[in-house]
Amino acid sequence: MVRMENATASSRYVVLLMLLVIILGFAEERAIYLVLMEGHPVVFREGTTHYETGKRIDPHRSGSNTHFDTLILVLVKLLTQGVIVVEKDTGAKLMTTYTPQYLGLPLGVWAQAGRGGKSNAGEGIVIGIVDTGMDPTHPSFTYDPQIPFALSNNSQFSGGGTCETGPLFPKGSCNGKIVSARYFAAGDQAIASLNASIDFLSPFDAVGHGSHVASTAAGNSGVPVVMNGFLYGYASGMSPRAGIAVYKAIYPSVATIADVVSAIDHATEDGVDILTLSIGPDEPPEDTITFLSVFDTFMVFAQRAGVFVVQAAGNHGPDPSSVVAYSPWAVAVAACNTDRSFPGRLILGDGHIINGIGLSAPTFRNGTLQFKLVLAQDAVKTTGRFLRTPEYVEECQHPEALDPIVVQGSIVISKFPAGFYNQTSTVTAIIDTAKALGFMGFVLVANPAYGDFIAQPIPLSVPGILIPKMADVQGRASIGEGRLAYFQGRAPIVSRFSSRGPNILDIDGDLADVLKPDPLSVLDSILTGNNFALLSGTSMAAPHVSGIAALIKQYNPSWTPSMIASSISTTASKFDNSGEIIMAEGPEIASIYPSTHFDIGAGLINPSLALDLGLVFSSDFNEYISFLCSLPNINKTMIKARTSQSCDNSLAFPTDLNLPSVTISALGGSRLVQRNIKNVATKPETYLCSVLQPEGVEVNVYPTWFRITSQGTQELYIKLNVTKPLTTFSFGEIVLTGSLDHIVRIPLSIYPVSY
């Protein structure tokens, strides 16, 4: 398949990576600025990379006395060289085995998309992973020469053969399953001194995040999951026969948007079919609207080139407007749990049981013998040359701080203060302390003020349990078996950390008329240092959607990225396994509430229905430009600078962008919204339109029914009238029910206000 935009397509950006080193007294402050310059992106022009590393600038030598003066001098010089936009690089963040069955893949979609089950699912499609790299020795990425990977005519990938090598990533690491590998470090090297022991200048993954993301999207099928000698089952990626293209842009010590957008640009140039971004900016841009940040600009050019882009929605939930994935040209994925749990038990001497989690073996004799409970702070040595900080006193991070006579053979209780939240303390260090001093086991007690880390099961090589809260207890206890999975209860439930809507337009929190998140997907939390580890976050939900998108692309090779996004959205479900509205976790531990579109987007992704649907909504690059040009109070010169496109056409309202949802952040009086749909089914079908009315709004759809031929199109007009102003959003949906059993859901999120 040829790329959707050819090399002559017009776009004017070259990004110069500029380093300003500001010396203030004895301190050195480094900052990176992304500078958009006149030129063509790599994917649309002949030539080399966008990125160059600028020179260090000493303000004293230049005659300047402040950071601002230095920047002005530099920009005056660069403006004579065709500089269009300058944006400060605020850094990038990570959006940190049962799931295929939960989503119905082995018996349904694998057979449908792959036409042969897991042996062909995703065959010929390439998924690009911009992340922390890849461990080529991981069993999820081994290559079977008996079943060679071959690109199909449906893939646009052209980057095969590019396999950069370096520490722990030798020649031959691109083995056929890994089809290409690159690493990007210019930004990181400019702003910080890399640690050679962990910041490997190669595509190798030193932390496991990128490997987990890749294995979730496209890991081999049937890989044994063994942790601490215990077989938990077998893992598979969503598209086990898809190829993986690696773009390492995140390092343990530092991460910059400069390296991330460079990786996105090369992935676009290589022609990956799907691009997975479980990383990205963790806050809105300071000096521009969210849709026009350098990061989002590069994503729209990727979409223009035919790349389906998947983002993690962010991990700042459950606060409203906490999503950090904003744009309509990328799919933002929220996270939920499944009905699988690994319950653990702390059994007290009086027979009471405290429930918790922790993938660990029981204490001695299968938990039937009990041992003394000791608070870590009560076991701290009275003398010793160590700091009296929580890390030493409460968190069991340093064995030298604890009295071995007190803790040996005991179950030690450690607290979960700020050290675990800011990652200066780790569960791994507790385990090391437990082994060094001979704990019989340990209990880690959560602090609700630090979020939901405690709610995810962690594989433990010594008996241990993580519990959400615990009254002061004394006496003796034992730890029960915690490695057995149980399948029960309502699911899915939106994870507490999963970022929520409504979407925002700028750093001031002005609302945007674009629904985010888009779909909801399960996270499958698989501890650093193991082949399989447990990592939670929307970064682990996003690759599920990437893998499913690869299946959809395989089954429907002519579909554009927006058509794939539409198929995922309009077929998603708002109901859980009990047939009720999906619930969402609230700010308090164990609190839940009925979800809205700002929690789940369109709902839980349903791969089977996404492959066999009737109608799709489609948008292209020009329509996205028209959308941008229709934003209220938009600076059209800024759009021209960021996208090289003039505002020759604008929509009547931003809500007229042809999305499979309708979001209006301030509806006063009435509005007519237009949508265009296409029948991608092989047969004509008759559809009946119905509306689940949002409170305070009357919604009518015209025509009320229609018959549409195969590959035919149909205009829909949606009339919205405010009947009662409210103080918040209300939610509803339009449902198009087809005579051949196709059902299309269009979420409505409306804020009715006084006219």
Question: Each residue of 548-572: b (16+ CB within 10 Å) or e?
Answer: bbbbbbbbbbebbbbbbbbbbbbbb
SS3 116: coil
End-to-end CA distance of the chain: 50
b/e for 19-42, b at 16 or more Cβ within 10 A?
A: bbbbeeeeeeeebbbbbbbebbbb
The string over 518-532, giving b where at least 16 C-beta atoms fall within 10 Å of a residue's C-beta and e elsewhere, is: bbbbbbbbbbeeebb
Q: Strand locations in 670-755, DSSP E?
A: 670-679, 685-692, 697-702, 705-708, 713-722, 730-738, 743-753
How far is the C-alpha of 373 from the C-alpha of 441, rounded, in Å?
9
Strands (E), 265-370: 274-277, 279-280, 308-312, 331-336, 340-341, 343-348, 353-357
Cα gap 445→440, rounded to integer Å: 17
Which amino acid makes up residue 5?
A: E
Q: Is 539 annotated as catalytic?
A: yes
What's the rounded Cα separation, in Å, for the pair 547 and 221?
13
- 10 Å CB burial of residue 684 (0-12, 13-18, 19+) is middle
Closest CA to 151 of 308, 268, 23, 270: 270
Helix (H, G, I), strand (E, B) or coil at 557: coil
The angle that helices 621-629 and 636-643 make with each other, rounded to 10 degrees, is: 150
Rounded to 10°, the helix 538-555/561-570 angle is 110
The alpha carbon of 430 is separated from its chain's Cα centroid by a whole number of angstroms, namely 29
Per the residue annotation, which of 89, 131, 506, 599 is the catalytic one?
131
Instruction: Report the distance separating Cα 237 and Cα 122, nearest Å.
Output: 10
Give rounded-to-5 percent helix, strand, coil for the chain: 25, 30, 50
Helix ranges (H only) for 410-535 are 418-421, 427-437
Q: Which candidate in 40, 50, 209, 266 is catalytic?
A: 209
> Has 209 been annotated as catalytic?
yes
Distance CA 301, CA 278 (A): 18
Angle between helices 294-304 and 621-629 (to 10 degrees): 140
Tokens of 747: 């979420």
Q: Which of 211, 215, 360, 539 is catalytic?
A: 539
Three-state DSSP state, 689 = strand
The residues annotated as belonging to the active site are: 131, 209, 539
